[in-house]
Amino acid sequence: MSARPSGKSKERPQPGPSKDEETGPGCPLPEDGDIEILEVIGVNETEPVIGGETGAIAHLEHATHDDGEVHHGSHAHPHHGGDEAADLRHRAEEAEKEKERLHDLWLRAQAETSNVRKRLDREATDRVASETAERIRRLLPILDSLERAIGSPGWGDDGLRQGVALTLQQMLEVLGRDGLKPIGSSGTLFDPRFHEAVEMVPHSEAPEGTVLEEMQRGYLLRDRLLRPALVKVARSAGAADGGAERRRSAG
């Protein structure tokens, strides 16, 4: 709000009464020409007062959209129950797939671990068997010497021979706990899996292919061949004679 003088010219004031006369009850009023009229501008009486009831109405009108729907405060989002249920089902399916994937990985890991354990056990068993076979193979010449000593003539005391035989038997029992088994050869048919023929001997009474004599005993270690037996094998006398005649005729 501001005040400004009107367009009317301002007359020069006349000397007024004294101070006592101005304050007296009978002080005359000044003439109209001496009154200065001020014009008040800047005030619109039709404009509503902000902050009152009209302000609240204006605020509501401002919040009203073109379609007439009034939104109170923040925008309200409708609750979509179907979308949430579908989202939950989707998440449940994804969780089930993840569980199956992890279960499959766990089964694969278990199978791989089992295979590794079996392979390590097999390798450990083979390593122990190889070490045992090598240790026993080094003792076989001692067993051979004891057997030859028992079968050799010239023993003056049978008690000494029996002592050597008992020592050989004890050694075979101890080594048998590790899986050592002698191969029985004398009187059996020649088997190339366990026998090695060092000589073919003509024999008229024994069938051809029969082991006549064991030159060196063979041994098995847990059903695996540790050393083949060195043997003499019988052959028919007719085959030997025919071979000799063929040699003479060729000469």
Report the distance separating Cα 196 and Cα 192, nearest Å. Answer: 6
Can you spell out the DSSP letters for 211-223?
EEEEEE--EEETT
Coil, strand, or helix at residue 67? coil
Q: Are 139 and 175 in contact (CB under 8 A)?
A: yes
Q: What is the pLDDT along the chain (251 residues), one digit of tens a residue?
A: 444 444 444 445 454 544 444 444 444 444 444 445 444 444 444 444 444 444 444 444 444 444 444 444 444 454 556 788 888 999 999 999 999 999 999 999 999 999 999 999 999 988 988 999 999 999 999 999 999 888 888 776 777 888 899 999 999 999 999 899 999 888 899 999 999 999 999 988 888 899 999 999 999 998 899 999 999 999 887 654 544 444 454 44
Coil, strand, or helix at residue 3? strand
C-alpha distances in angstroms, 125 versus 120, 223, 240, 249?
9, 15, 49, 60
Q: Are strands 195-202 and 229-235 parallel, antiparallel or unpaired?
A: parallel
pTM for the complete prediction?
0.52
Phi-psi group of 125: left, alpha or beta (phi > 0 → left; psi -120 to 50 → alpha; rest → beta): alpha
Kind and range of the H or E run holding 78: none
């001496």: which residue's tokens?
Answer: 34
State whether the Cα torsion 41-43-45-46 is positive or negative.
positive
Residue-level pLDDT at 177: 92
State whether the Cα torsion 171-174-175-176 is positive or negative.
positive
Q: Are 153 and 171 in contact (CB under 8 A)?
A: no
Q: What is the pLDDT of residues 175-200, one digit of tens each?
A: 999 899 999 888 899 999 999 999 99
CATH fit for domain 141-243, picks 3.40.1380.10, 2.30.22.10, 3.40.50.620, 2.40.110.10 = 2.30.22.10
Domain definitions of the chain by residue range: 141-243
């002080």: which residue's tokens?
Answer: 27
C-alpha distances in angstroms, 33 versus 9, 145, 157, 249?
10, 166, 180, 185
10 Å CB burial of residue 183 (0-12, 13-18, 19+) is buried
Q: What is the pLDDT of residues 45-84, one digit of tens each?
A: 444 444 444 444 444 444 444 444 444 444 445 455 678 8
